[in-house]
Structure formats: structure tokens, C-alpha cells
Structure 1
Amino acid sequence: MQNNQKINDWIAAFLSEEPPRSKSLVMTIFGDSVVPHGGMVWLGSLIEMLAPFGVNDRLLRTSVFRLAQEGWLGSQRDGRRSNYSIMPDAQRRLARAYRRVYSPLTTHWSGNWTLVLGTNGLDAAERASMRKELLWEGYSVIAPGIACHPAGDAEALEALLQRMGMLNKVYVCQVSELPGVRGKPLADLVAEGWDLSDVIEGYTKFVARFTPLLEELRSAPEPIAPEQAFVVRTLVIHAYRRVQLHDPQLPVELLPTPWPGAAAYELARELYRVTWEPAEQHILATLRREDPDAPTAAAAFYDRFTGLR
């Protein structure tokens, strides 16, 4: 199989116009490509994986060093060689994040709201940290000391509070509208609590940018080459992840219609289905150049995007 020149041109244009930050790209490759194969990669293989994106040896070493300092990666040496793997706590956080990426946006509303109360009892640093983490999980601060979400993930919230040492410092409860009492329309609460304009713009831009790529892949006379498929698959997940992880994951009943996230998900899924198999050939060959025993993808890998097989 030979590289498709039109796809090469698309990749070159994308990397020129929207060059991904190397540290973020390393995490995309770990989450999408390394974790399914055991979660460990030798530095030489990682250098080879990052090379097609214009990330050189020096920049990669700086990125993994910083990720290790931040607690995302751990490293080990074997003589002159070193390898990197996801730390256990980071692995759990990464798994939750990527579960969102590969799952359809079809959360339905039960009519209940998850509330996190009592943040006024925290000191300033704790309050700022809690606010940042809750916003990242899609919550909205609707009043001083009160954050809410209409489809809060209990497991993710429990892990967040435990990680921050705040399990016994805030109240968590579920509430619903009181029947017989007319309040403000829910649409107003959603509009006031969540500014979706950047997320809508991100999904719309993703669809506009990647639709021509899917058309080219479908019309190509030959199958895509393994390394080229790996680059495409990685860029798809990297770009989609950047938008999707800022999506507060509101239930479909509370979203504007039409919701561009649905089209973005379908596009990402189709691009992944076209590229995953040859990309896996490249990933496994690259990992096994330094680790002959690198495993094939775990069974859970094939559940991505509602099933790859």
C-alpha cells in the first residue's frame, strides 16, 4: 500500500494551520494507541510515533518529562533505554475521559439535578480548585456555593471529590422541580448556566474540516497505508477530543436542535472505522520494534464507537 498524496496534503495542511501541542498530542496517543496495548511504550517507539506530526526528539523528551512531573506518566530505565507508562490514578482519569470520547452523545434526562453544596465552607484555594474541576466535569455554578448538573455522573463525581480530598467537605444531593409551583423555564436555566457557543462552534468546525477527509478516504482507489492511517486516526481523535471534553454533556432534551455534536460524533466514528485496522498494524509494528512482546489490542478496544467489528 502506498501513501495517498491527497491525504498527505490534507495532513500537511492541518498540521500547518492547527499544529497540536506536543504534550497534548502525547496524551492523545497514549489514550488512543498505547493504553489498549498494555499502557507502556519505550521511548524509541514513542519518538517514532510522534515523528510524522513534526514532534522532534527534544520536544518529545520535554513533553514526557512534564507529564511525568504532573503525575500522568511514570518512567523506568533499562540500561540506556527508558519506557513510559500511565500512572494508576491518571489511568482512571484517562479511561473516563476516553469513555466519553468513544461513546455516543445520547444522555437522556431523568428530570433530576445533581447539586454540589457547601463550597462556601472551603478556603479560597480549595474553592478555586473545586470550581475548576467541577466546570471541567460540565457542572455550572448557579449561585455562590452551589454547582449543578442535570446528568451528573456519580462515579466521576465521587472520584473527583476523593482525588481532591473533599469527600467530607461538601454536600451532594439530587433534586427535581416541585410539582404545582411555576418557576423560570428550564431553557432559561440552561442558557444562564451553560454557554454552549464555543462547543457548538468547535463541533461545527470539526465537521467542516474532516468531512472532505472522509470523502477522500472513501473514494481512494487503494486502501490507506498503515502509518498514514495512524496519523489520520490520531488527528481525528485529537481534534474531536479537544471539543468533546469541553462539552458539558447535557441531556439531549436540554440541548438546542439540531445539536452539532451528533454530526461530529458520527463523522469521528466513520473516520475511525475507516482507519483503525491499518493504524493498528502500524502501532503494533512500532511498539514491537523495541518490545517484541507488546500485546495486541485488548478486547475493550473493539467496543469503541459502538463497535468496530
Structure 2
Amino acid sequence: MSLASDCVAELVCNFQARRPIRAGSLIITVYGDAIVPRGGTVWLGSLYQLLEPIGINERLVRTSVYRLTQDTWLQGEKVGRRSYYSLSNAGRRRFEQAFKRVYHGQQIQWMGKWTLAMLTQLEPGIRQKVRDELEWLGFGSFCPGILAHPTLSRNETIAVLQEMGAAEDTIIMQTEPLTPMVRKPLRLQVRESWNLDDLSQSYKVFLDKFRPLWRALANEDNALSEEECFIARILLIHEYRKVQLRDPQLPDELLPAAWEGRNAFQLCRNIYRAIHQRAESWLDKHLETAEGPLPAPTSSFYQRFGGLD
């Protein structure tokens, strides 16, 4: 057994030791990373095969898929005695918003504008739901009832609110930048509105967990089997995505100079590039749709992390 294999085994043990095991979240990672680029639909039995080595048994897969369907993440279809599942429309929207951050870490140039969402006129029953959704998208609280985002546009925000039936009762404004921007008070405001210290610590935990694997891969050619590459890739993206979901993706101008998020992206990119091909070979042999094997990945798959071989 290679050192890289030992690292993968350790990652699996760490995942299995958690209680409760978040199987539903891991299944969403599998869909986003592996299934959506290949048509988006897969036989339920294929999920059993993929997840069993990570410690998710058949019963837990069934229960988790049922819950994800109830929560409108997934939708199912019966073909004969077999069940096939894909992301729902709502699930695909959430996937696109979350996963594009994971694979494309480049920051767009910030022009100093802010999108403001004023929730003061919303009924109390829906106000918290809107707040939760906007914070999931990276909004921070500037003051009670007012959330702010530096890069999400006014139109993108309105589209989310329309889906929630809250657009007519939420005030959305776009600020214009002042020239020159005064950086010090902006950074102080950012620290009050987003918990960057806690986020930085989460990135450090991710780096400590996956750096041993990268060092082992750098010293051992083809050290992992195809199955181990798939397992490592899924756990890599799963752990990185969990931190990314809490990252508001603030522009560099608003972040500390030594920001661990940059190092975490580089590490995730390097490992992914090293193992994605053998993981894809594993998927070729073990995933099925109603028509047979999954189709090949789309061209957008190979644009992840700035380009895959």
C-alpha cells in the first residue's frame, strides 16, 4: 500500500468517524462533481457502488435520496423496476451557484459597488427564510434589516427573491463607488459583517487534512487505484465545498493580505488535476443510466480549475 493510499484511507476514516454522517450532503457533492457533467441522471444502484467504500450503506443512501427528493434537490423516474435520479430544476440552480465557486476561484475585478437588500418590509414569517437564502449566497449584515454583497448584481438578487415570492416586498438597491475608496473603514465593516477569522480557520483545517495527500502524490506516480482516485476526488471537493459555501467570495481588496482561501483553492486545484483522469475511468465502468453507461463529460468539465488535461 502506497503512502498516497494511506492518506486516502485516513480521509475515509475521518469522514466515517463523524456523527451524524451527512450522507445527503455527500450525495449532492457526487452529483455536482461527477454526475451533472455526464448528463445528470444515474441509476440508484450506481450510487450504492460509489458510496459504499466511503461508509454510506444502501439503506442510508435510500433514506438520503428520499429526503433530497422531498427537499426538491433531486427528482426521480422509474424505468421498469429501476429508479433513476437527477437534480431538479431548483437543485440545479443551487448546484450552479455553489459549484461554480469551487472550480473557478478567479476573482472578478471589483468596481466598488454594493448590492443592498432591505428586508424591513417583509412579513416576519418569510423574513428569516429570505435572510438565510441571501446569507447562503454570501450576503453579510451591514446593520439590522440590511444585507450587502459586493459582487452579486441587483438583477441576480431579484431573480432569487422572485423564486421565493419575496421580490415585491424587498427593497434592492445598488450603490455607486466613491473615488478614491477608503479601504480601512471598508475592511473594518467587512470584519463586522462576515466572520472571516472563523472562515480562515476552516480553510486551515482543510489544508492540514489534504496537504499530506498532495505531498504523497507529488512523490509517487500513479500511486492510487482508479477507485481511490474517485474517493479522494469526492472527499476533496466535499470538504472544500463545505468551506466554500460559507465563503462570501469577497474581492481581494476587502480580504486580509495573508488569506488562507487562496492557498486552499490552489491545493484543491493541484490535487484535482492530478487524479481526475483515473477517477473518470472509474466512473466510466460503474455508473449507469436507463440507456446504459453515462455519457462522456461535457466540454465545461474540462474547464474546471483553469483547465484539465
* TM-score under structure 2 length normalisation: 0.92
Counterpart Cα distance in 1 of 2:217 and 2:207: 15
Deviations 1:140-177 (A, max 9, x none): 22223321122224464233112111222222222145
Match of 2:115 in 1: 114
Deviations 1:52-74 (A, max 9, x none): 11100100000000000000111
Match of 1:30 in 2: 31
Counting only pairs closer than 5 Å after superposition, residues 60-209 of structure 1 correspond to structure 2 as: 60-117=61-118, 119-154=119-154, 156-176=156-176, 185-209=185-209
Structure 1 residue matching 2:175: 3-state secondary structure: strand
Deviations 1:237-267 (A, max 9, x none): 0000000110011110100111100000000
CA contact 2:3–2:216 (8 Å) conserved in 1:
no
Q: Which amino acid aligns with 1:307?
A: G
CA contact 1:114–1:172 (8 Å) conserved in 2:
yes
Counterpart Cα distance in 2 of 1:15 and 1:59: 15
CA contact 2:115–2:173 (8 Å) conserved in 1:
yes
Deviations 1:100-139 (A, max 9, x none): 111114243211111112x211110111111111111111
Inter-CA distance 220–127: structure 2 relative to 1 (3 Å threshold): same
Inter-CA distance 196–147: structure 2 relative to 1 (3 Å threshold): same
How far apart are residue 79 of structure 1 and its match?
Answer: 2.2
How far apart are residue 276 of structure 1 and its match?
Answer: 0.5
Counterpart Cα distance in 2 of 1:12 and 1:244: 21
* Percent of residue pairs bearing the same amino acid type: 39
Inter-CA distance 137–131: structure 2 relative to 1 (3 Å threshold): same
Counting only pairs closer than 5 Å after superposition, residues 14-53 of structure 1 correspond to structure 2 as: 14-18=14-18, 20-53=21-54
Match of 2:292 in 1: 292
Q: Which amino acid aligns with 1:89?
A: A
CA RMSD of aligned residues (A): 2.5
Counterpart Cα distance in 1 of 2:9 and 2:299: 34
How far apart are residue 81 of structure 1 and its match?
Answer: 1.0
Counterpart Cα distance in 2 of 1:189 and 1:220: 46
Q: Which moved more, 1:51-60 or 1:71-80?
A: 71-80
Inter-CA distance 279–190: structure 2 relative to 1 (3 Å threshold): same
Q: Which amino acid aligns with 1:200?
A: S
CA contact 1:10–1:213 (8 Å) conserved in 2:
no
Counterpart Cα distance in 2 of 1:22 and 1:180: 48
Q: Which moved more, 1:98-107 or 1:2-11?
A: 2-11
CA contact 2:5–2:224 (8 Å) conserved in 1:
no
Q: Which moved more, 1:134-143 or 1:183-192?
A: 183-192
Structure 2 residue matching 1:304: 3-state secondary structure: helix
How far apart are residue 181 of structure 1 and its match?
Answer: 11
Match of 2:266 in 1: 266
Q: How many equivalent pairs are there?
A: 308
How far apart are residue 179 of structure 1 and its match?
Answer: 6.0
Inter-CA distance 16–240: structure 2 relative to 1 (3 Å threshold): same
Structure 2 residue matching 1:205: 3-state secondary structure: helix
Counterpart Cα distance in 1 of 2:222 and 2:179: 61
Q: Which amino acid aligns with 1:170?
A: T
Q: Which runs of no fewer than 5 residues in structure 1 stay unpaired? A: none
CA contact 1:3–1:228 (8 Å) conserved in 2:
no
Q: Which amino acid aligns with 1:45?
A: S
CA contact 2:42–2:289 (8 Å) conserved in 1:
no
Match of 1:242 in 2: 242
How far apart are residue 93 of structure 1 and its match?
Answer: 1.8
CA contact 1:67–1:73 (8 Å) conserved in 2:
yes
